[in-house]
A and B are shown apart, each in its own frame.
Chain A
């Protein structure tokens, strides 16, 4: 994918970032570098590689089925904007 200086200026404008001509050219170089890196990675043949669902190759640790928590409603509700009768109150939602 090729990016132009005017693309960079437009993105900067949309993001409310003020840049001058030199900065736009420098940013164009940096962004193009990133796009090139992505293109290089996309060219790798991964058809025989199993997709990962997680970045680390370790397994999920399991907890024994035991109740370890006590009632701390008062503490948790002390930071809630509005509570009543033990319930958290939110703006009304009806489908």
Chain B
């Protein structure tokens, strides 16, 4: 039987606020245990949560970016469960009327566009951290993370392969960073994925029983966990068994998923509106004001690159994979408006390659867009060849001669010979010295032509303009 995999993702994005969602404690990462947990985070009796405007603002930004409905009023609810790193005995979350309802995210898989629908995105607080190392048979609790604002972004079960799920997660990851609501740091847990996976016979509509795989904190693990889980479910079904709905954990070392707990229903959490928090009203004027602060979104910029600069869909999507890269491209192109493809090639090639190699961010790139444009100008006006440009690029990267392109070209003697009469003289010399190859060529041996080109380039240490050499040689031999 042919099986179809059905995947929906829940992403927890930690919002980039300074303070917690319901208290004035800092959210800075890596502080000493419990130094950023105040009376509200500790759930001491008689305290009241007060909602952080910055967290709501970020949720609205996401909503606007994905074309969702912003609910007003929006309601906070208590999700009840018992665990020591949740001292209140409930997590403040949203159940009915989340801030963000619906919306869409476009992804590109193997060159085709696909739409993934969003169900909702709601605000909630993170829990603390339990440390199970040996404290004389006790567990240690650090509540610094308790109350950190999260936006849980829930997709519809619209993905059909691990590749699609990873592309969706990467697109969403790029978006939250692009609009500046989350730093996207996966090692620090700022962007965590849960995957809901089920399988069904291809061609059928009814969804199979799903399992949820928790806390996948890298795109590679997301892909491997989904692949493993789908195989596991298919094997069970093909052996005549049935899938039990449950929550599973992915073990990266063994590359397998295993049962964490049998799945609880929403009923088990006894959700109810939190009487400590009043309904959140979001006036249209506030939404309009936030709309003004939104940058041009990745999708819009990708479309613009294709339509205005005739870049391929692939180039456009690589350039818009981060806002920093897209901004770098725009700034370079501003200096060199007619050379979009040349700019794109160098940014995706030399610049990205060198940044990756040295593990540095676009924002810390030692070559500014203006400096890159100066270099590319010398390629497009014929001063240097593409090959020589790579040498100049290396010198600039290493900070030689104040990264001055013309000074480096002069110092290294890389200027291309583009003077027709000079090239003609060279060609004549080479032809005179290689009478045999000239004869071979005239007798129909095409290969002799390339050999002559090679001789000429060698005589000029590669500095002659190859296009001109080609044209002049052809004229002399054929004419």
Q: Which residues of A approach B to under 8 Å, CB–CB?
A: 53-56, 58-69, 71-73, 76-77, 82, 84-95
Say yes or no for B401: interface residue by CB 8 A criterion.
no
- Determine, out of B47-55, B295-303, B349-357, B410-418, the stretch whose residues face the partner at the interface: B47-55
Give A63 to B275 CA distance when docked, in angstroms. Answer: 18
Give A86 to B275 CA distance when docked, in angstroms. Answer: 32
Q: Nearest residue in A to B74 (C-beta to C-beta)?
A: A60
Q: How large is the interface on B (under 10, 10 to 19, 20 to 34, 35 or more residues)?
A: 35 or more
6 sampled A-B residue pairs with Cβ under 8 A: A54-B275, A56-B278, A65-B18, A65-B54, A73-B34, A95-B261
- Inter-subunit contact B34/A76 (CB<8 Å): yes
- Inter-subunit contact A66/B24 (CB<8 Å): yes
- Inter-subunit contact B139/A92 (CB<8 Å): yes
Can you list the 4 inter-chain pairs with the closest CB atoms, starting with the nearest? A65-B54, A68-B24, A87-B140, A86-B33
Give A88 to B273 CA distance when docked, in angstroms. Answer: 30
Residues in chain A near residue B135, CB distance under 8 A: 84, 87, 89
Q: Which of B36, B131, B281 lies in contact with A59, CB distance below 8 A?
A: B281
Q: Which of A87, A89, A95 has the most CB of B within 10 A?
A: A87
With A53-B75, A64-B53, A76-B37 in contact, is A84–B140 under 8 Å at CB?
A: yes
Q: Nearest residue in A to B278 (C-beta to C-beta)?
A: A60
**Nearest chain A CB to B87's CB is how many angstroms away?**
9
Residues in chain B near residue A73, CB distance under 8 A: 34-35, 37
Residues in chain B near residue A82, CB distance under 8 A: 138
Give A89 to B50 CA distance when docked, in angstroms. Answer: 28
A interface majority secondary structure: loop
Give A59 to B142 CA distance when docked, in angstroms. Answer: 33
Q: Nearest residue in A to B19 (C-beta to C-beta)?
A: A67
Q: Which of A62, A67, A77, A93 lies in contact with B51, CB distance below 8 A?
A: A62
Q: Which of B18, B56, B75, B83 lies in contact with A62, CB distance below 8 A?
A: B56
Residues in chain A near residue B261, CB distance under 8 A: 95
- Inter-subunit contact A87/B33 (CB<8 Å): yes
**Nearest chain A CB to B90's CB is how many angstroms away?**
16
- Inter-subunit contact B142/A86 (CB<8 Å): yes
Give A77 to B138 CA distance when docked, in angstroms. Answer: 17
1/0 per position for B126-141, CB-CB distance to A under 8 A? 0000111001011111
With A63-B51, A65-B19, A65-B55 in contact, is A87–B141 under 8 Å at CB?
A: yes
Residues in chain B near residue A86, CB distance under 8 A: 32-35, 142
**Nearest chain B CB to A95's CB is how many angstroms away?**
7
**Nearest chain A CB to B427's CB is how many angstroms away?**
70
Q: Which of B50, B275, B278 has the most CB of A within 10 A?
A: B278
Query: Which residues of B, 2-58, contact A by the 8 Å Cβ criterion?
Result: 17-19, 23-26, 32-39, 42, 50-56
**Nearest chain A CB to B224's CB is how many angstroms away?**
22
Residues in chain A near residue B143, CB distance under 8 A: 88
Give A76 to B141 CA distance when docked, in angstroms. Answer: 14
With A56-B278, A58-B278, A73-B34 in contact, is A66–B139 under 8 Å at CB?
A: no
Q: Nearest residue in A to B84 (C-beta to C-beta)?
A: A90
- Inter-subunit contact B38/A72 (CB<8 Å): yes
Residues in chain B near residue A76, CB distance under 8 A: 34, 37-39, 42
Give A91 to B139 CA distance when docked, in angstroms. Answer: 6
- Inter-subunit contact A65/B52 (CB<8 Å): yes
Q: Nearest residue in B to A92 (C-beta to C-beta)?
A: B139
Give A26 to B84 CA distance when docked, in angstroms. Answer: 45
Residues in chain A near residue B97, CB distance under 8 A: 53
- Inter-subunit contact A67/B141 (CB<8 Å): no
Q: Which of A55, A63, A89, A90 lies in contact with B24, CB distance below 8 A?
A: A63
**Nearest chain B CB to A20's CB is how many angstroms away?**
39
**Nearest chain A CB to B263's CB is how many angstroms away?**
14
Give A93 to B277 CA distance when docked, in angstroms. Answer: 31
**Nearest chain A CB to B58's CB is how many angstroms away?**
9
Q: Which of B36, B51, B54, B131 lies in contact with A60, CB distance below 8 A?
A: B51
Give A73 to B25 CA distance when docked, in angstroms. Answer: 12
